[in-house]
Structure 1
Amino acid sequence: MMTALRPLLFLLMLLPGLSAWCQEVDNTTDPWESMNRRIFAFNDTLDKYALLPAARGYQFIMPDPAEEGVGNFISNIYEFNSMFNFLLQGRPGDALQSAGRFLVNTTMGLAGLLDVATPMGIAHEPADFGQTLYTWGVDRGPYVVLPIFGPRTVRSATGYFVDTYTSLPSFAVERQWAYLFWVVEALDLRVDLMQAENLLSGDRYIFVRNAYLQRREYFLTGEIQDSFSIEEEGDEYIEF
């Protein structure tokens, strides 16, 4: 467990410098646009020839109830992260709620394949380490496109990797189970994003950038900065 927590401990030591650096560099939303566009094109090609065909195959062989069960299982796994981050944010009530969802769905919901907590009135409210950094006053930093992992900000990218390496799969003794979980998670997310592809128009890079930043802002504050339309699926926040 200590091995998985090392990224968090390391980040805590660098936090003052990270905050100051983000504030200094964040002069515009996208100061690294030239580099970001090249990485975006690489990711687009990788998606077209690898991830998207794999996601379509996954969707084809998975019955809808099984696909929903996998999505529930993944969401339940990350209740642990939500609990952990709510504690770091000083929100013990929300942490207890996430812990309750995890306990109920893991036991009564067949290891999380069924979401029985929501009908019982235990609502799903996600939290991640990027949100924790926001709560601690760390600036957003510039928009950045990561190879394979896609659109982020410096703050949300930092949070993503901390969340990944402090998630339950990262504690697995046999690493292949963690890798299998992350592969299935990527396929499940890509299937979800197929529904949004028809919305893409104009400059794909600009569209995806604006959509990501708006959805992230909505996740953190519950507010939308301009008129860009955001569709929520229930109360679930979908990262992309």
Structure 2
Amino acid sequence: MSLIPTPASVRAVLLSACVVLAAGCTIAKPRTDDPWEHFNRKMYAFNDAADKAVIRPTAVAYRKITTADMRRIVANFFANIRMPITIVNDILQVEPRLALRNTGRFAINTTLGFAGLFDPASKLHMPLQETDFGVTLAKWGLPEGPYLVLPLVGSTSARDFWRLPADHYLDPLGWYADHRDLALNAEQVPSMVYLVTLRARGLDAEGLLDGVYDPYVFYRDAYRQRRLYDIYDGQPPAEVIEQLQGTGDVDVDQLLDEQRAFEKKDGDK
């Protein structure tokens, strides 16, 4: 199934959003179960293999041929050019103050920041604060749905899946690719460079997986927690965190035994 939206699919997404808006604005409680785990683990294994074979080596090569300053300039450019996604979703979330501030940030960095290569807006107390259509749906009460891992996309959920076509429609990188037909699919190069920069930024965090008994569970729980912070603007209520970290359906002693066995086995190597 193609993730590139058609006008009809975008209208359907927006219609769904209107239905959600009409339903109220109470954020649904986070899920802690994983009913699609069998499928998800297969997709996780596929993505992990693809990452080791192609994506990570490309990101490592990118790190080797660039300096930290060069990578910061590239990251600034992509963060700025994708700002329309945040501005439109600020409006959909009924956050006029944030929409106005991020519009100002976009205007300043596009002009004074030389097409976004530099970030003078942050020095003017307009820090980067991104959002997306998945957060919009959450703030209007759409339940998270099951956790989902997609091939070459990674962690998402039944709710966050809809940000793929919706935000693609707002993304200038998506506009460029959709309205070009270059040799060897060269119109996809900007989007691919953006994805490589994201993967390169993740190289420094790989040490967090050292000693982790089950990387799939680590990624799943980390994704859910990060999305929770996105939805609550970095300050989720304590009861919501407790809900996410609840252990009512988990055998904690068994998990601890498995982790200790893994650490012992790893230490014996």
Name the TM-score class by shorter chain.
0.7 to 0.9
Give the match's secondary structure for 1:109. coil
Give the match's secondary structure for 2:123. coil
1:11-160, aligned counterparts within 5 Å?
Answer: 11-15=13-17, 16=19, 29-160=33-164
Question: Corresponding residue for 2:180?
Answer: 174
Shift of 1:166: 2.0
Q: 1:203 aligns with which of 210, 214, 220?
A: 214
Is contact 2:87–2:99 with CA below 8 Å preserved after alignment? yes
Residue deviations 1:135-191, cap 9 Å, x none?
221111100000000011111121133112321122223255752221011111111
Question: Corresponding residue for 1:187?
Answer: 196
Is contact 1:109–1:116 with CA below 8 Å preserved after alignment? yes
**C-alpha spacing 1:7/1:69, structure 2 compared with 1 (3 Å):** farther
Give the match's secondary structure for 2:149. strand
Question: Which deviates more from structure 2 when the two are superposed, residues 168-177 or residues 199-208?
Answer: 168-177
Give the match's secondary structure for 1:195. helix
Question: Corresponding residue for 1:238?
Answer: none
Question: Corresponding residue for 1:236?
Answer: none
Give the match's secondary structure for 2:159. helix
Question: Which deviates more from structure 2 when the two are superposed, residues 102-111 or residues 174-183?
Answer: 174-183
Shift of 1:6: 4.9
| Amino acid across the alignment from 1:78 | R
| Amino acid across the alignment from 1:45 | A
Report how many residues are paired.
220
TM-score between the two structures when normalised by the length of structure 1: 0.84
TM-score between the two structures when normalised by the length of structure 2: 0.75
Distance 2:155 2:80 in 1: 24
Larger Rg over CA atoms? 2
Distance 1:88 1:177 in 2: 33
Shift of 1:195: 1.4
Give the match's secondary structure for 2:148. strand
Is contact 2:144–2:160 with CA below 8 Å preserved after alignment? yes
Q: Name stretches of at least 5 consecutive residues in structure 2 with no aligned partner.
A: 24-29, 246-269
Aligned-residue RMSD, C-alpha: 2.4
The percent identity for this pair of structures is 35
